[in-house]
Amino acid sequence: MAHWGMFEVESAGGDVSAVHPYAGDSEPSPILGNLPGSVRHRARVSGPAVRRGWLESGPGPSDKRGADQFVPVSWDELLDLLAHELRRVVDTHGNRAIFGGSYGWASAGRFHHAQSQIHRFLNMLGGYTRSVHSYSLGATGVIMPRVVGTHWKLFARSTNWDVIADHTDLMVCFGGVPLKNTAVNSGGTSAHPTRGALDRFRDRGGEVVSISPLRDDLHGRCEWIAPIPGTDVAIMLALAYVLASEGLHDKAFLSRYCVGYDRFEDYLLGRTDGVPKTPGWASALSGVPAEQIAALARRMAGGRTMVTVTWSLQRVRFGEQAPWMGVTLAAMLGQIGLPGGGFGHGYGSMNEPGLAPVPYPLPTLFQGANPVPDFIPVAAISDLLLHPGEEFDYDGRRLTYPDIRLVHWAGGNPFHHHQDLARLRRALARPDTIVVHEPYWTPMARHADIVVPSTTSLERDDLACTRNDPLLVAMHRAVPRYADARDDYDTFAALAHRLGFGARFTEGRTAHQWIEHLYEQWRGFVLTDPAHLEAPPFGEFWRRGHVRMRTEDGLSLFSEFRDDPERNPLTTPSGRIEIFSADIDGFGYDDCAGHPRWYEPDEWLGGERAQRFPLHLIANQPKTRLHGQLDHGAVSQASKIRGREPIRIHPSDAAARGLGAGEVVRVFNDRGACLAGVVLDDQVRAGVVQLATGAWYDPLDPSDPDSMCVHGNPNVLTADVGASWLSHGCSGQHALVQVERFDGVLPPIKAFDPPL
Ligand SMILES: Nc1nc2c(c(=O)[nH]1)N[C@H]1C(S)=C(S)[C@@H](COP(=O)(O)OP(=O)(O)OC[C@H]3O[C@@H](n4cnc5c(=O)[nH]c(N)nc54)[C@H](O)[C@@H]3O)O[C@H]1N2
Ligand SMILES: Nc1nc2c(c(=O)[nH]1)N[C@H]1C(S)=C(S)[C@@H](COP(=O)(O)OP(=O)(O)OC[C@H]3O[C@@H](n4cnc5c(=O)[nH]c(N)nc54)[C@H](O)[C@@H]3O)O[C@H]1N2
Ligand SMILES: [Mo]
């Protein structure tokens, strides 16, 4: 099992030679094609390594990180050095000086899950400064609990695809429903139902409006509206304006199930600021004709309508507003909680919304408790390292950045996920020590002082499952361990022994015994469920390869609330949907007010900055891989142009710059530059370019943090600013850029060659 699907492998010579998708999967992901050859790829970390400068001069800040040589050491030397350094930092600076947030997707598998392993280890060490929320849902994770009392239920207990296919008349999809993203769910996925559901929905007469800068964010028949990126909230407001001014809004729903509509309406109609949010107003901002917006609003009020918002729309500055306004619009239509109506967040973002959940807990490795109270919102990593001791605002609180001396990472890649990589490099020069556990020489591993070689999930047994998938899967080891790599569990166990809590960490179990233990714990629980389908003893499960769990089918989001709002209130302060939040209003932030509203973005085609950088870059999820994982795999490599990540550009924008298909361009702004390969595509809105995340950062001059990336990592271009003071969510989806032909000698790609 991988995050992108279930499969069996053939192996030869210690590597994967072929991959066969699970027969029950109607649409296996092409990303599976990156697996053959991945285990013994030259980019693997073959043994423990320590940065030369750190080994020779000891711990301390260094701008050599990312440009230094590495010295191979034995496992015993590595473990002694690392245990000693952890002890030194804890004894001299306290546990809060360790940043163990360690964000990232790592690999599928419940036991060897890298985050669970490192957090369990660091908790037993006495704790660490942690991070909260995700790059995926930084703004949503903070705003939605305040608006609807939850964020995870929006996905895990979302309206089922079957219900949409059977009941919905109209889907209005902000950000489309990109099939490419439904390849993936965190923890694995055994079926890919989205394409089939959309087809059944349309066959029944359902209609889709896809609002997105990219036509291919919706597969098949739809009405495509391509606004100026970042203006969705203005369009939603204008839709709401038409409903309100024509009396099409559901006043009974708003008064029974919501609070604060009146406050919002004062803004909507312009009573508070003198600006009615009319279709004409939104048209000037978005470029979408006013009549088209007005007609759409009337259509939405005329039948069973589902408003969906992809996660990308909140991964921008002011990212709270799109999901909040999406809920508000759906509330005005009055269909929240009805089959096929209401609101959805993340259809087409992940293979999770629309899929039926498992109604009981999954096998989980206990991580223990973290005694250190300090935390950061996850996308504040550079701020944390650059501003020790400084105060910052977050979700109505005043917090302080601790003084971090040691950064410990396992299972993530900040050079994939973080913004403004030049700034990140300066931040990573600050701590005394950086430790990275990685199977591959990713850019993050190259910026470490201590590199701990990890196995991949193909080299170990594990157990996989996830909340919205019926299968619990035995992951059988497919190939032997590569070179001198070890399971993170074995590394943490050996460190724990050196630090005096080995027996507590392992509880005396081998990895395989842990897997059996987690399974049997889960089985004991499931057997008490009278409706459970199957739960054989571990041995039988392991031989059979998977068991089928019960799922809750036919859900409609918030139907219990709609049926009886007194007995099933939302867990918001009012128990209802907060169109106006008195709490947020009380925080007094200038970038997130008490109700959803339009804020002019910093990076958009309508602003002053567009004079200098006139193209809007969409830095979205890659079709050919998961993030930066297996960027060296065959499917990812086949998409590259002269080794560079493809950038899609409208033919008119290419012509204006004299660019042809297949040429290499320099994409730049005042934060950085990268090379990319041109793909001409009229499915991209004019004025927009699209460059996915995930090309491994490959600086022309590794000793210069501002150096151009020769490979095409868009995060050299994105700004390191939070969505707002409320959430500090990742805002990496958008950046303004300019593009020009690269006429120089094409530098080689070195990202996949191990460092010296
Ligand atoms: N500009 C821009 N940036 C973005 C986004 C965007 O939309 N635009 N999207 C953001 C989002 S939503 C996300 S989730 C992040 C994703 O960012 P990440 O999750 O950090 O990216 P991955 O490449 O998946 O990193 C996982 C790493 O774990 C390693 N790994 C795999 N298995 C193991 C293991 O068993 N042990 C160890 N130690 N390591 C292992 C892999 O080799 C890989 O390097 O990126 C974010 N960044
Ligand atoms: N194949 C593949 N699938 C993935 C991942 C992957 O790496 N590879 N990553 C997974 C992860 S961790 C996550 S969090 C999800 C992320 O899910 P999302 O964040 O929803 O995915 P993105 O592809 O970044 O963005 C979806 C679409 O939003 C559109 N969009 C961008 N800006 C705007 C805008 O201003 N207005 C409108 N209307 N549309 C806009 C873009 O055209 C883009 O294709 O994807 C998951 N799925
Ligand atoms: Mo994500």
* Per-residue pLDDT reduced to its tens digit, 39-59: 999 999 999 999 999 999 999
Q: Does residue 360 carry a catalytic annotation?
A: no
What is the reported pLDDT for 657? Answer: 98
Distance in angstroms (rounded) separating the CA atoms of residues 685 and 691? 14
| Residues flanking ligand 1, CB < 6 Å | 104-107, 112, 114, 135-136, 315, 410-413, 416-417, 437-440, 442, 454, 456, 488, 619-620, 626-629, 693, 714-715, 718, 730, 732-733
* Per-residue pLDDT reduced to its tens digit, 117-163: 999 999 999 999 999 999 999 999 999 999 999 999 999 999 999 99
Measured in Å, residue 349 CA sits from the centre of ligand 2 at 6
Measured in Å, residue 133 CA sits from the centre of ligand 3 at 10
Residues of the chain above pLDDT 90, percent: 100
What values do phi and psi take at 705, rounded to 5? -60, -25
What is the reported pLDDT for 94? Answer: 98
Split at pLDDT 50, 70, 90, the class of 262 is very high
User: What are the residues facing 7 on neighbouring strands?
Assistant: 21
Cα-to-chain-centroid distance, residue 675: 24
Total-model pTM: 0.98
- Which residue out of 105, 110, 137, 313 has the highest number of ligand 1 atoms within 8 Å of its CB and is therefore the one to mutate? 105
> What are the DSSP E strand ranges found in 523-659?
546-548, 577-578, 615-618, 646-649
Q: What is the DSSP letter of 395?
A: T
The CATH number, out of the four listed (2.40.30.10, 1.10.357.10, 2.60.15.10, 2.40.40.20), of the domain defined by the range 608-741: 2.40.40.20
Q: Which ligand is nearest to the CA of 184?
A: 2
Q: State whether CATH 3.40.50.740 applies to domain 46-135+361-534.
A: yes
* Per-residue pLDDT reduced to its tens digit, 209-228: 999 999 999 999 999 999 99
In terms of phi and psi (left: phi > 0; alpha: psi -120 to 50; beta: otherwise), the region of 694 is left
Residue 148 tokens read as 């609807």
Please determine, for residue 489, whether its predicted confidence score (pLDDT) is greater than 90: yes
487 lines ligand 2 (CB under 6 A): no
Q: Would you list the domain boundaries of the chain?
A: 1-37, 46-135+361-534, 159-185+198-354+556-587, 608-741
58 closest CA partner among 76, 96, 85: 85
- Which residue out of 345, 620, 691, 718 has the highest number of ligand 2 atoms within 8 Å of its CB and is therefore the one to mutate? 620
Question: What DSSP element (H or E) covers 338?
Answer: none
Q: What CATH architecture applies to the domain 159-185+198-354+556-587? A: 3-Layer(aba) Sandwich (3.40)
Catalytic residue among 103, 257, 489, 522: 103
Measured in residues, the chain has a length of 756
Q: Nearest residue CA, atom 4 of ligand 1? A: 417
Catalytic residue among 105, 257, 401, 598: 105
8 A C-beta contact, residue 185 and residue 108: no
Q: Nearest residue CA, atom 25 of ligand 1? A: 412
Question: What DSSP element (H or E) covers 679?
Answer: strand 673-680
* Per-residue pLDDT reduced to its tens digit, 273-329: 999 999 999 999 999 999 999 999 999 999 999 999 999 999 999 999 999 999 999
330 closest CA partner among 138, 148, 585: 148
183 lines ligand 2 (CB under 6 A): yes
What is the reported pLDDT for 383? Answer: 98
Question: What DSSP element (H or E) covers 315?
Answer: none
Q: Does residue 482 carry a catalytic annotation?
A: no
492 closest CA partner among 179, 115, 192: 115
Distance in angstroms (rounded) separating the CA atoms of residues 22 and 18? 13
8 A C-beta contact, residue 192 and residue 5: yes
8 A C-beta contact, residue 354 and residue 160: yes
288 closest CA partner among 210, 221, 216, 341: 210
Q: Which ligand is nearest to the CA of 131?
A: 1
8 A C-beta contact, residue 411 and residue 106: yes
Average pLDDT, the chain: 98
What is the reported pLDDT for 169? Answer: 98
Split at pLDDT 50, 70, 90, the class of 26 is confident
Measured in Å, residue 135 CA sits from the centre of ligand 1 at 10
